[in-house]
Chain A
Amino acid sequence: MTDTFHAKNPVYPLFGFFAALLIFAAGLATAKHTEGMWYLLGVWVWFLLFGYWRSCLVIIPFAAVFSGIFAGITYLSSHETAATLAAVSRSAAVCLAVLPGLSLPAVKLTRNLSGLHVPRSITLGMMIVLSFAPLLGREIKRIREAMRTRGAGSLLNPKVFYRALLVPFAARIVNISDTLSLSVETRGFCTGKAPYTVYHPVKCTARDVIFLLGLVAGSVAVIVFCFI
């Protein structure tokens, strides 16, 4: 989750997770109906109203490209306009469902789960995955630059792919994990049942409840309208 998408004041993390599931389910269920498109537009405006304006604007080009590719492939395979529009609606639903997760800083999600006494090994693992996924991407780029500098050859060569990319990357992963685990243990972290408190607990506010209730109401309304 990059900083570009992070909202200044995201909703309660678990509500964001439920919102993602709800938008995904309702969007897929109503993909074939015109009302489904209006529902997705309403969800986008709802996010805009609750402070996700940066993510809402940044997601537009991604959603356009993603929907365009999906629609193109569907039209080429089916030659039906209705199926193509349904494909556009589905891909837009996926893009909107991703929005709460992308806008959520990893630390906030981890604090929320720690406050709910989720096992510490899981919260630590999640925090590491969310923090280190972009970093490992940069490590791969560095290894490829080193390969270019040394004239290692093309990645399509299996020997070069194995020896010059996979092995150094795996060695780098081991180094990073050893250093990180030492740092974590030095800070007194343990996976046992030692008591702890959270310095900045994440609390559910009225704003978060209104956000979720609005989404639930909209989802139920569009499903009822489409199927009854």
Chain B
Amino acid sequence: MRENNNFDKMNDGADGKDEGKETLLSEEKNSAAGAEKDCLDWLDEEIPVQSENGGQGRENSAKTAGRDKKRKRRENPDIRDGVRYNKKGEVAIFQPFTVKDIVFLAIIGAAALITSAVMPLVAQVPIFGLPQLVTGLQMSVFPTIGLMKVRKTGSVFIVSLLVSVLELFMAPAMGVTSLISAIIIEAINILTFKGYRKDIACFVSGMLINPMTLPFYYLYCMAFETDSIFFKAAGDSPWVAVGISVAVIAVCALGAGLGILISREIRKAGLMKK
């Protein structure tokens, strides 16, 4: 059994008692360390299942880890140094995601979400596509930065999935349209660029994230909310709706370009490795 010195201190407060729980200073609570601690307390609570050899302790963990790695390499000959190859020996389209990739994409999703917090302010203005226009820059810059670092098929879907978890609580229609458009963007990328190895693939996918939700949101309003202000706005002035849609694509293209420039700058500074 893995030692866990925080066992005695752990109390999730489900029973309303905070006894024994390590109290955070107000400064620490507000800092990245505080958020990290909250997040990682959950990981500390998980108890690993005891291994077959009865838990030999940490001394043998390096040996078993080495043996496990060799066994995995024998069982999965197509994965070398974390990169999956197909039967022809080429780099496969679908690559496994590492913990680092998931963490980065999650933080990218959080950044896109928090910077799009202005959307509820304009959501009630009866102009079709205005919320997408207002959030277009943020929803293209950050996912493009994510794609430039994690160049794996499925990255856009993971970012959209994590963002739509919150959107499903607030606006289920938007959450579902985000997921559907992410799947379509991944399909477009697989068919045209076969992965995100090229910067142009990252640009195109980053550019399409927000505009792709427009037709699906229109279809949703047509099916379920025919008296919504968006549907009426699109019907009353279709050319305004078309103009706004073109503006959304332009803003998202600008955002995707900015994302590529920013990631190249950060890479030059040595902060981000490809």
Tell yes or no: B199 within 8 A of A by CB. Answer: no
Tell yes or no: A189 within 8 A of B by CB. Answer: yes
**What is the chain B residue whose CB lies nearest that of A195?**
B49
Given A125-B102, A129-B106, A140-B115, check contact A187 B124 (CB 8 Å).
no
- Pull 24 A–B residue pairs with CB atoms less than 8 Å apart, ordered by A: A8-B16, A24-B172, A86-B227, A97-B172, A114-B46, A122-B161, A129-B113, A133-B113, A135-B32, A138-B30, A140-B114, A166-B262, A167-B265, A170-B266, A174-B271, A176-B32, A176-B107, A180-B103, A184-B40, A187-B43, A191-B98, A191-B99, A197-B47, A197-B48
Q: Give every chain A residue within 8 A of B40 (Cβ-Cβ).
A: 183-184, 187
CB pair B113–A17 under 8 Å, yes or no, is no
Q: Give every chain B residue within 8 A of A147 (Cβ-Cβ).
A: none
CB pair B163–A129 under 8 Å, yes or no, is yes
Given A17-B168, A98-B170, A173-B108, check contact A191 B103 (CB 8 Å).
no
Chain B CB within 10 A, most for which of A70, A73, A107, A125: A125
Given A86-B227, A125-B158, check contact A101 B169 (CB 8 Å).
yes
| Tier of interface size on chain B | 35 or more
CB pair B266–A128 under 8 Å, yes or no, is no
| Tier of interface size on chain A | 35 or more
CB pair A131–B35 under 8 Å, yes or no, is yes
CB pair A124–B258 under 8 Å, yes or no, is no
CB distance from B244 to the nearest CB of A (A): 16
Q: Mark A51-87, 1 if CB is under 8 A from B, else 0.
A: 0000000000000001001100110010000010010
Q: Which of A99-139 contact B (CB under 8 A)?
A: 100-102, 106-108, 110-111, 114, 121-122, 124-138
A-B contact count (CB 8 A): 199
CB pair A180–B39 under 8 Å, yes or no, is yes
Chain A residues within 8 Å of B, Cβ to Cβ: 8-9, 17, 20-21, 24, 28, 32, 66, 69-70, 73-74, 77, 83, 86, 91, 94, 97-98, 100-102, 106-108, 110-111, 114, 121-122, 124-138, 140, 162, 166-167, 169-171, 173-181, 183-185, 187-191, 194-200
* A219 CA / B46 CA spacing, docked (Å): 38
Q: Which of B41-55 contact A (CB under 8 A)?
A: 41-49
Tell yes or no: B222 within 8 A of A by CB. Answer: no
**What is the chain A residue whose CB lies nearest that of B161?**
A122
CB pair A200–B14 under 8 Å, yes or no, is yes
**What is the chain A residue whose CB lies nearest that of B254?**
A158
Tell yes or no: B263 within 8 A of A by CB. Answer: yes
Tell yes or no: B36 within 8 A of A by CB. Answer: yes
Chain A CB within 10 A, most for which of B10, B46, B170: B46
Chain B residues within 8 Å of A, Cβ to Cβ: 2, 10, 12, 14, 16, 30, 32, 35-36, 38-49, 97-100, 102-111, 113-115, 117, 120, 124-126, 141-142, 145, 149, 158, 161-163, 165-166, 168-172, 224-225, 227, 229, 258, 261-263, 265-266, 269, 271-272
- Choice from A130, A132, A134, A188 contacting B2 with Cβ under 8 Å: A188
Given A98-B169, A107-B38, check contact A136 B111 (CB 8 Å).
yes
Given A24-B172, A128-B107, A200-B14, check contact A174 B266 (CB 8 Å).
yes
